[in-house]
Structures are given as structure tokens and as C-alpha cells.
Structure 1
Amino acid sequence: MNSEKLSYRLETVTKYIPQDYKLADIGSDHAYLPCYVIQNGIVPWAVAGEVVEGPFQSARRQVEEEGLTDKISVRKGDGLEVIKKGEVDCITIAGMGGALIASILEKGKDKLEHVKRLILQPNISAISIRTWLLENGWGLIGEEIIEEDGKIYEILVAEKGKEKQAYHDDLEKGLLFGPFLLREHNPTFLKKWEGEKINWLTIAEKLEQASNTVENRKKKEELMKKIKMAEEVLEDEKD
């Protein structure tokens, strides 16, 4: 993978970056994504943010090699502390856990005032992000679920306001499965939740054998609720 040919996962993320928006890519790694969108004329200027020294240096080298130092500002810092208020229109955060992405947004809340769009790709726990968006006045405007190299990824796209609009009927189901993905019900979505259901059943069985503490009973109850929801969603497909 390089900045000329992105992974399918990152290429899918770039599809949702509006033309001519200024971009901040947080956790940019080698800065492949910012380099790609600049070279393809999608954005005029970008920030590549990295908190870890190694990837920060890799990003700097990549941007220098591509001759893009005037168009990409590579910055070292934690989450959104690498951007100034009003500096960018769009933020991408890809390839981290959902809970970590949600905490980055929470910590950098004051930087989001003038941001028009968030494009977030969690590796796990997209529910953490959907919950954060809902509680903080961001509405989902699109979602996509893809598979690459045997791994399944979800891409969430949000803009300010209308935070409940995407969740037509069942908020709880929508937060877990994704309101757009639920409606689309594509084969990758079904594969993901079939796998999750099997995983949850295994954990539930282990809890069944574990000591009957209040905590274990509560965990099992929560799991059974999720299993039931997954079964309903998968059943819809067969009808």
C-alpha cells in the first residue's frame, strides 16, 4: 500500500470526503490518506496527525518524498490537539477501536465547532461512536460495511444536527447494527453479525458454567439481549 494505491478500506473512507474541504486525518500513520486525497485533487490542504513518534516520522518522510510539504502539515500530538479551531472542514479517523475514536472526539470536542463532517472507521465497537454522535448532536448521514483481507470494517459518516433522523424506529437496534446498514442488509453485514452471534453464544455458554454472581448474571442478560436482536436481524433476511 502507498499513497498512489490505498487499501480498499482507506479508499472507501476517501469516497466520503467532500471536494475542496480542508482535512485532518487523525492517527495518520504514513500519511497515505492525506497524500492520496491531495494528489487526486480532492482536497487542497490537509493535516496529518500522529501521537506516536515512529509513525509521525514515517508520515513526515512520506510527505517530503511526495513533495507535498506545502499542502500537508504533519503534526505530532494527541488526537484533535493537532488542529486549531476552524482550521479544517472534515476529520477522518480510521483504523482504531470505536471506544478510542469516541474518546478522541470527546477530548477534542471544542475543536469540532466549525467541522462540517466526520468520517470514522472503527475496527471494533462502532456502537461507541454512534452513541457519542447521538449524544453530541451529530447525525449519521451514511454508513458502509466492507470486507478486506478477511476483516470486516464499518465506515460512519456524520454531520451536525438531526442526530436522531437516521434511526427511524428502533434506536437500540440502530446503535448496535447501524441504521443505514440495517436497511441495506448486504452480505458483508449478515456475515459480520452471524459471526458476532456465534461469538456471543460461546461467551454466554462460558458464563452459564461460571459462578452465579450478580455480575455474571447481568453480563449474561446483556448478551442474551444482543443475541436475540442479532437473531431478529438475521431472521429478517430469511423472510
Structure 2
Amino acid sequence: MPQVKLSPRLEAVANLVDAKKRVADIGSDHAYLATYLVEQGKVAQAIVGEVAFGPLDNAKHTVATQGLGSQIDCRLADGLAAVSKEDGVETVVIAGMGGLLIKKILNDQKQLGPFSQLVLQPNTDQDAVRAWLVENGYAIVKEQMVEEGEHRYEIIVAEPGKQTLSADDLTFGPFLRKEQGHIFLQKWQHEQKRLQLVLDRLKEAGQVDNPKYHQVSEKVKKIQEVLSA
């Protein structure tokens, strides 16, 4: 049976998972990530959590097809309710969701932690995820951006620890804004252009005194400041 191949986004997530850890993947997208990690010998055991029967059946099908039923346990549960302390999970992966949903999942079951490693890939509201980590005893230790098609994704890796982040760190990422790789630059240049169009339209409509105009203007200035640093 051919081994599972991952999309660039999920492969980047997989590469950031610590080796030989027991992993829980919450919202697994057909259990591809857990299957890949086991097939590559990076982890020995994995738990897959799905909130609905359809995705759960898809995950079970992948696991059964690859013959990994003894190593990957697919469970029907809401978020981290799929995991108990007795499972001994060390790494939790939550990828491909909105940042506010990731924050809610982590918050609902934070009594399970701290986990040795969190690998999070929020599609939106990355600042809210970073803020949650700092407020709940985690330190961001790595960040990576990956491009897939027209989309750019941020991956945040955190471990237990204390950390202080500035407003710029929360928005742009403490590692990403220092490294300023080409995907980072593309993302924020695109966002700057989008916000500038909003400003131009507000100006054309005579709305320069509108609070929204000033709010967007400040965002544009901040992006310019970070990109020119």
C-alpha cells in the first residue's frame, strides 16, 4: 500500500511535530497527518479527533486502508474532549481552522495541559492564538509560513514556558517578523494593498473623518513600519 502523501501545508505541519511523541490531531482531514507521522516512524501512536460522523468515517477509512488501526485511534468528540490525561498525549496538532475556534478548543480543555508541544495552524486570527498561548503558560518557539496555491498559512509551535510578546509580535509573529521570508513579505504586501484600496474608497466617499478610516490608516502605517524594519 503506497504511503500517504501530504499537501505542502500539512507536510510543513508534520515536519514541525517532535519525533517519537504521542500525538493528538484535532480535526484531522481524513487522518492524513496522523497516518503520515506513523508511516514515517516519527510517532508510535496517534489519536484522531473528529466532531461529526462523516469526517470520522473518512478518518477511519484512511487508517484502515493503511493498516494502522493498532496505532491510530479515531474518536468522535468535540475538540480536545477526544483526549484524556490517561492517553499520555505529548503533542497536540490543530490545523486548518479559524484562530478563534482553535482558541476555544484549547480553552475548553486547558485542564488537560500543559502539553509538551502545540503545533497550531490557524487560517485566521493568528494574533488571538498567540495571545492565548502567552496568557496560558506557553511560549512560542518556532513559526513557519507555507504557500499552497494562492493561500499563505502560518504555523505556530509552542511549548510550556513564559513569554512576553509585543503588539507587533502578536500580529506579525515574533519569529516571522524578524525573519521576513518571501511568503511573509507577500502576505503583508498583499494586505497593505488591500487596506489601501479601502482607504481610497473611504476617501472618495468623503469619509476621511470616519473612525474606520483612521483605524485602517493605522494598520497600513504599521505594516509599512514592519516591512521597512
Give TM-score, length-normalised by structure 1. Answer: 0.88
Q: Which residue of 2 aligns with 1:32?
A: 32
Equivalents in 2 of 1:210, 1:38: separation in Å? 59
Residue correspondences, number: 226
Cα distance change, pair 132–210 in 1 and its aligned pair in 2 (3 A)? farther
Shift of 1:75: 0.6
- Cα deviations by residue, 1:189-222 (Å, 9 ceiling, x for unpaired): 0100011112222334445538799xx61x4333
- Aligned residue number for residue 67 of structure 2: 67
Specify the alignment match of 1:141 in structure 2.
141
Confirm or deny that 1:162 pairs with 2:162.
yes
Where does the alignment leave 5 or more consecutive residues of structure 2 unmatched?
A: none
Partner of 1:183: 178
* Distance of 1:52 and 1:199 partners within structure 2: 36
Q: Secondary structure at the match of 1:179?
A: coil
Contact kept, 8 Å, 2:207 with 2:213, in 1: the verdict is no
Residue 201 (structure 2) pairs with residue 200 (structure 1): no
1:220 counterpart residue number: 213
1:231 corresponds in structure 2 to 224
2:120 maps to a residue whose letter is L
Contact 1:60/1:74 (8 A) holds in 2:
yes
Partner of 1:82: 82
Whole-Å Cα distance in 2 between the matches of residues 135 and 206 of structure 1? 38
Query: Which amino acid counterpart does residue 23 of structure 2 have in structure 1?
Result: L
CA shift for structure 1 position 125 = 2.0
Other structure's SS at 2:133 match: helix
The RMSD of aligned alpha carbons is 1.9
For residues 59 and 3 of structure 1, the distance between their equivalents in structure 2, rounded to whole angstroms, comes to 15
Q: CA contact under 8 A between 2:208 and 2:214: conserved in structure 1?
A: no
Q: 1:40 to 1:96 in 2, by over 3 A?
A: same
In 1, Cα distance between the equivalents of 2:60 and 2:148? 27
CA shift for structure 1 position 112: 1.9
| Counterpart code for 2:93 | T
**Is contact 1:28-1:49 (8 Å) kept?**
yes
* Distance of aligned partners of 1:85 and 1:205 in 2 relative to their CA distance in 1, 3 Å threshold: farther
SS at match of 1:146: strand
Deviation of 1:70 (Å): 0.8
Amino acid at match of 2:97: M
The alpha-carbon deviation at position 225 of structure 1 amounts to 2.0
For the structure 1 residues 197 and 9, does the alpha-carbon distance in structure 2 shift closer, same or farther, using more than 3 Å as the test? same
